[in-house]
Structure 1
Amino acid sequence: MTAETTSRDFESSPLSVVLGAKNATALEKAFGYGTVGEFLRHFPRRYVEVGELTPIAELPFDEHVTVVAQVVNISQRQMHSRKGFIFEVTVSDELGDAGQQLKMTFFNGYQARSDLLVGTIAMFSGKVGWYQDHLQLNQPDYAVLDEASQADPRPIPIYPASAKMPNKKIRDLMAHLLEQMTQENLPEFLPQELLDTHHYPIRHQAYANRHSPRELKHAYVARQRFAFEEAFLLQLSLAERNRQIGTQHSVARPRRSGGLADKFDAQLPFILTDDQQQVGREISQDLELNHPMHRLLQGEVGSGKTVVALRAILQVIDAGGQAALLAPTEVLAAQHYASITKMLGALADPGLFNEGEGTGVALLTGSAKTAQRREALLGIASGETGLIVGTHALLGEQVRFAELGLVVIDEQHRFGVEQRDALRAKANDSVPHTLVMTATPIPRTVAMTVFGDLDTSTIKHLPVGRAPISTHIVPMQLSGYRNRLYTRISEEVAKGHQVYVVCPRISDSAGEQGVLLATYEDTSGQSMSVEKMLELLGGLPDFESIRVQGLHSQLDSNDKQGIMDDFAAGDIDVLVSTTVIEVGVDVHNATLMVIMDAERFGISQLHQLRGRVGRGGLPGTCLLSTWLDADHPSVNRLRVIESTLDGFELAEADLAERKEGNILGVQQSGSQSALRELSIIRDRALIEKARDDVRALMAMPAWREKYPVLLATTKNWVDESTREFLNKN
């Protein structure tokens, strides 16, 4: 590796060139890494240092500790239940009184057996457990201390590791890699003014401090620098993308006085809320521009997003375009179609080839009969149909639009990027405007909102007549609460209302089939199924005259729609269902939502399910049942749902629970563009800082010519799959 080697050459070099073929193969198998740059970004998850050390005599049970100790005894025994061996190490305290000992246990500890010989002094880190009346550390991280490190102990990095690539091996390989790294072959690309302003080290030094810090504060500053680097590069990538979108052509769709949109507003039987009017103005102004709108419409379930979207659709139709509304399920698509045609009234009568004064509205789903499908396709292609509502069927090759001007996507997290892009690609010579509706932003949406990538409109307040929903956790291990749950269902039906009961699965495993449950106690520790709940309710005296029906995804499409129609008509009192009713089912008389084994659902799902009740002016109640103890971690998710109805707040909690993932939307092992250091939650201030810095950079004349390495790094940092992903959103 020569001094003239460029940063890109060094980082893109195969690991085998620097670490040898054997080590490179081991790293590829363990982590999927193939290049120097990928391994360099394998950052420590934490460090241990002498200041954290705890004498063995003072070890607290069930807490994470770090000890320095000398190996005084080793032993090995075979495991009885499976293949492999257990390697046990007894250590003596190097800090406390003589004679204080502690056992360490390693399962298939090949590396530990090689490193931890009698007399070896090492630093051990792990959680204190209990085995055979003695405290022990099970599978602890460790670092052998040589004389130099004992005399001048540095913080020891603890990496994400595997059985065949333990921490000591990673540290050894990383140390060898750092020896090959120079300022010349890993030059800086961030503007020096930024580094000076934020007091960050240059890139070469930051890597050294992150992997081998002299003091812990050096590692912290290096982490900040790399987090800022990721935020800055992503901000710059998004800014460049938005600049390119600004150059894309989209047909302007200005509002036309006296058109369908004005007629629709005039016939509305209610007054739009201030939020709905403000959001409507934002969308309308976007549609008047000749570059594509890309706006997120966030609003609680029942807040009136569909009305706002329909006003935008009519504005586009007035301006000579067509609109497509993409729904995730046939049930929701059919419901959108029914509610939209009802709201439009006479405005849904096409006026192009017929005598009506409005526009054609069609429904296209996968289960549509041939004649219905043919009629829908003809209307879309001819332009007679101004609005087409449908599912994935809209993505088919046979679907051709006369002039697609607006794509409305309901619940975007139900559709992949490619699916959404396929629909937008059906426009002729321009890029259609896009409006995304969601009741609970998914983590990626929240993350992108933090980064400023989406134009966001929010309907914060519920319309008049939309009743609030109260939510309560029901501890099923307490018989009083358990019995009250079923009584509460029957009481709601007795009031003339309807009830949803949602279960996490359709049926039991083969071994559980046919078991008639006399009491709910028989299901303790199990997941309640639709079939089991139907059996249970059918055996309760209070439910003899109550009409109970099951609904799930394995039913025929026509049967599902028939059941939903019966429930909407009031012919079913209690609907026992899976999450097939999560999105879009609108029954105003439904006032109670019971979610069985609620801890098995995500935050977003629970919020969506809860939104199915309280939609007709009657107060709604959601009961979250769980068999878990109150102090179980999963119950915290239920408490979050219980405490708030705010969609963004819940999405933040969902984001934290999911550990953020890769906000770029690509899951690719070793991908250079995967965020290693940046945390959307922890680094909000840093993200704002990076956003301001990018804006200042882009306002600078000829910045691309002044910082060519930065521009090249930005293009290389976003790999091809990520670039496609960003460009499609």
Structure 2
Amino acid sequence: MRPETLQPLFRSLHTIKGVGDKLAALLTRFFGAPEGQEAIVLDILMHMPSGVVDRRRQVGIGEAYLNQIVTLKLHIDRHQPPPQGKPHVPHRVFAHDETGDINLVFFRAQGGWVEKALPVGEERFVSGKIDFFNGEKQITHPDYIVEVEKFDSLPLVEPVYPLTNGLSSKALAKLVRQAVDTIPELPEWIGGSTVAQRKWPSFAQSMRMVHLPENPADDEIFAPARQRLAYDEYLAGQITLQLVRSSMVSVRGTSRIFTGEVTAKVSSLLPFTLTEGQNAALGEIMADLAAPERMSRLLQGDVGSGKTVVALMAMAAMAESGAQSALMAPTELLASQHFRTIKPICDAAGLGCALLTGKMPAAERRKILAGLADGSIHIAVGTHALFQSDIDFKDLGLTVVDEQHRFGVHQRLALSEKGRHTDLLVMTATPIPRTLVLTHFGDMDVSVLREKPKGRQPIDTAVMSINDYDRVVGRLVARLGEGAQAYWVCPLVEESETLEVVSAEDRFAELQKVFGDQVALVHGRMSAAAKQEVMNRFKANEIKLLVATTVIEVGVDVPNATIMIIEHSERFGLAQLHQLRGRVGRGSQRSACLLLYKDPLSETARARLETIKSTEDGFVIAERDLELRGQGDILGTRQSGMPGYRLAVPDVHRHLLEFAHDDAKALLQRNPALSGDEGEAARTLLYLFRKDLAIPLIRAG
């Protein structure tokens, strides 16, 4: 149960004075409250300012300069409303102090409110930006007009927030003040020495300094208050991941014993020797499998670094120890491709290997299910359909998941339930920068494959304008005539399924005029069978040119395809461009990638294309990607519900993530049950950052 002290922060915004149904609904949408829930007081607190307006400059009119924001104490002299029937003429108010004169200007000011706010003969404080008109100083639509005795209500340092249509900064500021006042006394979850050393205020003080700053410096993104809040958010995430890890690893695994026979056989059947990196990763995996704890490992490797082979060797070792393995891919296309790659080797090594998809005939499916239940099938390949309730393995020892980023913490937990003591190996072809590994996979050990297998050819990358279309097609005619095969990729146009196809289809229609039946089309709206049929024909070299959307981004392997043309390359992210380019350069021929762009190019797009042109190292590209577009997109956050940050700004607060990771680890080693005062404080932190998912994982005792 959530601690009673936190209840005020979890109240619906409806309970705040001045929030009606309409505003509550607007804020619920704006803050992205979970389905079926309303926005709460905590949402307001977690909404960080993007900047600050400093109104502390209180001078005389004579010392107020152009474009400065000032707060003036004015004597109101007279009003000059617009003439009848001329509403476009502004209402002017003339005022003075001892140092000079000024005009206050209001457009379309109906209803006499200006006269009420600025009565002739009285004094008012007015705050706004100075500009000039006809040589005279003026403030157009002052931000604040305050009676002299109510000067304290004028915010001299005012945070500026991101807003949405229908939400004014004044209305939001009012809500923020009320929200800050409801923060209860909370236990401190950061160690006293750390707080003292970093000179950090408490959580409540930090929130007050950020939302009601007395000094613009309080609101700087690297100020102590913001650093403290960023660290809190990171710490909540890292404690959650450590709890996930302990819940997965704590269920005792099985110490596997290997004979070395099957792995030696598989190794001898490979057409190449393993690279140093592959051997090192395999060594780490084997050590994990032999240990009594369950393995939870991320295998990171760039496009074409040979992850599948490492996984195959691990699955072969599993079979030696008498257990089964499951290899799970995100799509049927990829699952069947993995199957085709490993099936001949499994057959020759005497390993039972089967492909299980959702669309297979019932009789075939029954046969495979029987093989899984009696243990004669050692390796099952498929999509997440492998984990449906009617599928029983005799002894599932290892689950290998391909293409991590569609596979978050929830899925890792669900998966570990299926095989009671299953080891987990997750492969990703997205090189992930260290910061993101900690953020999303802090619960996993990591192996990295940095080198490419021997014999992989470098890829020549060039950038060209789409205006050179005719030249590109002419060159393509010549290359295909020499026996090459090529991909032509078109982007998603907007985020719309219907449009996506149109753009690929339009290009296909154009290219058909030149290449006739040598060109084919594949896109996301085709059935799996239709896609597979086109891919098989392309693989068999019956088709020379494949026009595609990004469905070919991951895992498609056609060694004879040596040319990759990416149209509208300015619309793709760096990781995507890198993935797409990795579809070529897989055979013995030298390959080329051509990035076609349409003018005008934004600075960011130009930087992206430059990066891709200059390096093939996925890890360098991933770091650059993080700089260029922030962390959410790299892992496909949009489709996978990965945690985005509200208080931490990864670029600025990156260094705090390492601290949070180490501190969370130390906390759970010291106090795995999160008991006593220290544990209670940590639980409070988890509730504050809505990591309730983790609370049931806390081990009793």
Distance 2:536 2:243 in 1: 49
Counterpart for residue 281 of structure 2: 279
Distance 1:446 1:373 in 2: 39
Task: Tell me the amino acid that sits aligned with residue 455 of structure 1.
Answer: D
Distance 1:194 1:120 in 2: 44
Q: CA deviation at 1:566?
A: 1.8
Q: 1:30 aligns with which of 8, 20, 27?
A: 27
Counterpart for residue 578 of structure 1: 549
Judged with a 3 Å threshold, the aligned counterparts in structure 2 of structure 1 residues 246 and 497 are, in CA distance, closer, same or farther, namely same
Match of 2:563, SS state, is strand
| Residues 243 and 697, structure 2, Cα contact 8 Å, conserved in 1 | no
Judged with a 3 Å threshold, the aligned counterparts in structure 2 of structure 1 residues 549 and 221 are, in CA distance, closer, same or farther, namely same
The reply to whether residue 224 of structure 1 matches residue 227 of structure 2 is yes
Q: 1:49 aligns with which of 40, 44, 54?
A: 54
Q: Which moved more, 1:8-17 or 1:681-690?
A: 8-17
Matches for 1:553-568 after TM superposition, within 5 Å = 553-568=524-539
Matches for 1:254-653 after TM superposition, within 5 Å = 254-257=257-260, 259-347=261-349, 358-415=350-407, 423-427=415-419, 430-441=420-431, 446-448=436-438, 452-476=442-466, 479=467, 481-504=468-491, 529-540=503-514, 543=515, 547-631=518-602, 633-653=604-624
Judged with a 3 Å threshold, the aligned counterparts in structure 2 of structure 1 residues 398 and 217 are, in CA distance, closer, same or farther, namely same
Cα deviation per residue 1:513-568 (whole Å; 9 max; x = unaligned)? xxxxxxxxxxxxx997222122212334xx46x72122223434433322222211
Match of 1:683, SS state, is helix
Match of 2:379, SS state, is strand
TM-score (norm 1): 0.77
| Residues 527 and 597, structure 1, Cα contact 8 Å, conserved in 2 | no
The reply to whether residue 681 of structure 1 matches residue 669 of structure 2 is no
Cα deviation per residue 1:336-374 (whole Å; 9 max; x = unaligned)? 111112334511xxxxxxxxxx12111122232333323
Counterpart for residue 521 of structure 1: none
Judged with a 3 Å threshold, the aligned counterparts in structure 2 of structure 1 residues 707 and 488 are, in CA distance, closer, same or farther, namely same
Q: CA deviation at 1:674?
A: 6.8
| Residues 74 and 117, structure 1, Cα contact 8 Å, conserved in 2 | no
Distance 1:343 1:419 in 2: 30
Distance 2:81 2:678 in 1: 58
Counterpart for residue 135 of structure 2: none
Q: CA deviation at 1:75?
A: 8.7
Q: CA deviation at 1:151?
A: 12
Counterpart for residue 203 of structure 2: 203
Distance 1:323 1:94 in 2: 84
Distance 1:618 1:109 in 2: 76
Match of 1:425, SS state, is helix
Matches for 1:5-154 after TM superposition, within 5 Å = 7-15=5-13, 19-20=16-17, 22=19, 26-27=23-24, 29-31=26-28, 34-50=39-55, 121-123=126-128, 142=143, 154=156
| Residues 69 and 127, structure 2, Cα contact 8 Å, conserved in 1 | no
Match of 2:652, SS state, is coil
Judged with a 3 Å threshold, the aligned counterparts in structure 2 of structure 1 residues 445 and 564 are, in CA distance, closer, same or farther, namely farther
Q: CA deviation at 1:721?
A: 6.1
Q: Which moved more, 1:146-155 or 1:37-46?
A: 146-155
List alignment gaps of at least 5 residues for structure 1.
60-64, 77-84, 129-135, 348-357, 513-525
Judged with a 3 Å threshold, the aligned counterparts in structure 2 of structure 1 residues 680 and 146 are, in CA distance, closer, same or farther, namely farther
List alignment gaps of at least 5 residues for structure 2.
132-137
Cα deviation per residue 1:583-633 (whole Å; 9 max; x = unaligned)? 221111111111122233333322221111010022222212221313454
Task: Tell me the amino acid that sits aligned with residue 558 of structure 1.
Answer: A
Q: CA deviation at 1:579?
A: 1.9
| Residues 248 and 413, structure 2, Cα contact 8 Å, conserved in 1 | no
Counterpart for residue 252 of structure 2: 249
Distance 2:402 2:619 in 1: 17
| Residues 247 and 697, structure 2, Cα contact 8 Å, conserved in 1 | no
Match of 2:480, SS state, is helix
Cα deviation per residue 1:242-273 (whole Å; 9 max; x = unaligned)? 3333321222333323x211221233332211
Distance 1:714 1:486 in 2: 59
| Residues 367 and 557, structure 1, Cα contact 8 Å, conserved in 2 | no
Judged with a 3 Å threshold, the aligned counterparts in structure 2 of structure 1 residues 218 and 422 are, in CA distance, closer, same or farther, namely closer
Distance 1:337 1:320 in 2: 21
Distance 2:115 2:303 in 1: 60
Judged with a 3 Å threshold, the aligned counterparts in structure 2 of structure 1 residues 281 and 706 are, in CA distance, closer, same or farther, namely same
Distance 1:9 1:435 in 2: 40
Judged with a 3 Å threshold, the aligned counterparts in structure 2 of structure 1 residues 494 and 431 are, in CA distance, closer, same or farther, namely same
Q: Which moved more, 1:114-123 or 1:400-409?
A: 114-123
TM-score (norm 2): 0.80
Judged with a 3 Å threshold, the aligned counterparts in structure 2 of structure 1 residues 682 and 575 are, in CA distance, closer, same or farther, namely same
Counterpart for residue 193 of structure 1: 193
Counterpart for residue 79 of structure 1: none
Judged with a 3 Å threshold, the aligned counterparts in structure 2 of structure 1 residues 412 and 538 are, in CA distance, closer, same or farther, namely same
Distance 2:425 2:228 in 1: 36
Task: Tell me the amino acid that sits aligned with residue 461 of structure 1.
Answer: E
Q: CA deviation at 1:433?
A: 1.1
Judged with a 3 Å threshold, the aligned counterparts in structure 2 of structure 1 residues 217 and 443 are, in CA distance, closer, same or farther, namely same
Cα deviation per residue 1:396-454 (whole Å; 9 max; x = unaligned)? 33322111111111112345666665554332xx2311111111157899253587333
Distance 1:539 1:579 in 2: 23
Task: Tell me the amino acid that sits aligned with residue 554 of structure 2.
Answer: V
| Residues 417 and 725, structure 1, Cα contact 8 Å, conserved in 2 | no
Distance 2:528 2:274 in 1: 35
| Residues 255 and 291, structure 2, Cα contact 8 Å, conserved in 1 | yes
Judged with a 3 Å threshold, the aligned counterparts in structure 2 of structure 1 residues 501 and 192 are, in CA distance, closer, same or farther, namely same
Distance 1:181 1:420 in 2: 35
Task: Tell me the amino acid that sits aligned with residue 363 of structure 2.
Answer: A
| Residues 328 and 415, structure 1, Cα contact 8 Å, conserved in 2 | no
Cα deviation per residue 1:489-526 (whole Å; 9 max; x = unaligned)? 223213321100112359999999xxxxxxxxxxxxx9
Distance 2:493 2:455 in 1: 35
Distance 2:110 2:398 in 1: 60
Task: Tell me the amino acid that sits aligned with residue 683 of structure 1.
Answer: H
Distance 2:88 2:433 in 1: 41
Q: CA deviation at 1:74?
A: 9.0
Q: Kindly, what percent of the aligned residue pairs are identical?
A: 34
Judged with a 3 Å threshold, the aligned counterparts in structure 2 of structure 1 residues 161 and 578 are, in CA distance, closer, same or farther, namely closer
Q: CA deviation at 1:204?
A: 2.9
Size of the aligned set, in residue pairs, is: 659
Cα deviation per residue 1:92-138 (whole Å; 9 max; x = unaligned)? 9999x9899998999x999x99999798733369xx9xxxxxxx999
| Residues 128 and 139, structure 2, Cα contact 8 Å, conserved in 1 | no
